Amino acid sequence: MFTLPWWRMYVCCCLSCSTLLFFVLKGDDGEKGDPGEEGKYGKMGRRGPKGIKGELGDIGAQGNIGKTGPIGKKGEKGEKGLLGIPGGKGKAGTVCDCGRYRKVVGQLDISVARLKTSMKFVKNVIAGIRETEEKFYYIVQEEKNYRESVTHCRIRGGMLAMPKDEAANTLIADYIAKSGFFRVFIGVNDLEREGQYVFTDNTPLQNYSNWKEGEPSDPYGHEDCVEMLSSGRWNDTECHLTMYFVCEFVKKKK
């Protein structure tokens, strides 16, 4: 058994008594207080449920017209139209010298055709030509037989080329080779007398010739014309064969 000092007993007793008094002697309710101040905003609420699908909207207004597209391809040619109605009878014409005009027009056509041929020739001449002190040489790149070749050169004021010396022969041979050809007609033949070769101006070959080894060889008498090979050598051949040829033109003396 323990004992407490007297003042402790007292304190203890007083605490117990006041507690008891608190419960037993509870007072009346107080008056209602004034309303408090407005509170702060609360937290954001949860996301609401998905809405119901809406109704289809009204049709929108028409848009502006778009840009012009690229030009289309050219159409195919249409079919030929039907024959038209024949025209009315014309007025009586004045008397004219129609025959004369027709003749003039006809001659004009011929002149134009000649001019065209000359132009073509000139164009070719400018494209490639060789010259010495006295002459121009020109390979005509048109396949012709011997007689046509002679005529072609002559009507243009020249001759089928006649290499009468080593220098002329070398120049022509070089011209043929550089142009990439194998053979051309030159102005040599024995058309007049078999075996008697002459240049187209009828001068004999007494001073110069450059036959290929074993040529001229004409067992049947058919090879009366002469071609120059790109080596510069001559070979007798048939006049009706067609090949390129060389014209020569004497330069006009000043």
Ligand X SMILES: *[C@@H]1O[C@H](CO)[C@@H](O)[C@H](O)[C@H]1NC(C)=O
Q: For residues 2 and 22, give the distance between their C-alpha atoms in angstroms, rounded to a whole number.
A: 30
In the complex with ligand X, the residue whose CB is nearer, 18 or 196, is 196
Residue 237 interacting with ligand X (CB under 6 A): yes
Residues 149, 169, 189, 235: which binds ligand X (CB under 6 A)?
A: 235
Residue 238 interacting with ligand X (CB under 6 A): yes
In the complex with ligand X, the residue whose CB is nearer, 128 or 204, is 204
Q: Which two tokens stand for residue 131?
A: 């010259």
In the complex with ligand X, the residue whose CB is nearer, 118 or 132, is 132
Q: Are 226 and 217 in contact (CB under 8 A)?
A: no
In the complex with ligand X, the residue whose CB is nearer, 17 or 250, is 250
Q: In the bound complex, what is the minimum distance in angstroms from residue 107's beta carbon to ligand X? A: 41
The one segment of 78-86, 94-102, 129-137, 230-238 that binds ligand X by CB under 6 A: 230-238
Count of positions on this chain that bind ligand X (CB under 6 A): 9
Q: In the bound complex, what is the minimum distance in angstroms from residue 222's beta carbon to ligand X? A: 8
Residues 207, 213, 252, 253: which binds ligand X (CB under 6 A)?
A: 207
In the complex with ligand X, the residue whose CB is nearer, 151 or 203, is 203
Print burial letters for 18-34: b (CB count within 10 Å at least 16), e (below 16).
eeeeeeeeeeeeeeeee
> DSSP assignment, residue 98?
H
Q: For residues 236 and 191, give the distance between their C-alpha atoms in angstroms, rounded to a whole number.
A: 11
In the complex with ligand X, the residue whose CB is nearer, 228 or 247, is 228
SS3 146: helix
R_g of the chain computed on alpha carbons: 62
Q: In the bound complex, what is the minimum distance in angstroms from residue 252's beta carbon to ligand X? A: 22
Residue 148 interacting with ligand X (CB under 6 A): no
Question: Between residue 61 and residue 120, which ones bind ligand X under the rule CB under 6 A?
Answer: none
Beta bridge partners of 130: 137
Which is nearest to 156 in space by CA: 254, 242, 247? 247
Which is nearest to 141 in space by CA: 169, 165, 175? 175
Residue span 160-199 as binding mask against ligand X, x where in contact by CB under 6 A, dash where not? ----------------------------------------
Residues 190, 223, 224, 248: which binds ligand X (CB under 6 A)?
A: 223
| Helix intervals (H) in the chain | 6-24, 98-127, 146-155, 166-179
> DSSP assignment, residue 37?
P
Q: Which residues here bind ligand X, judged by CB under 6 A?
A: 203-204, 206-207, 223, 229, 235, 237-238
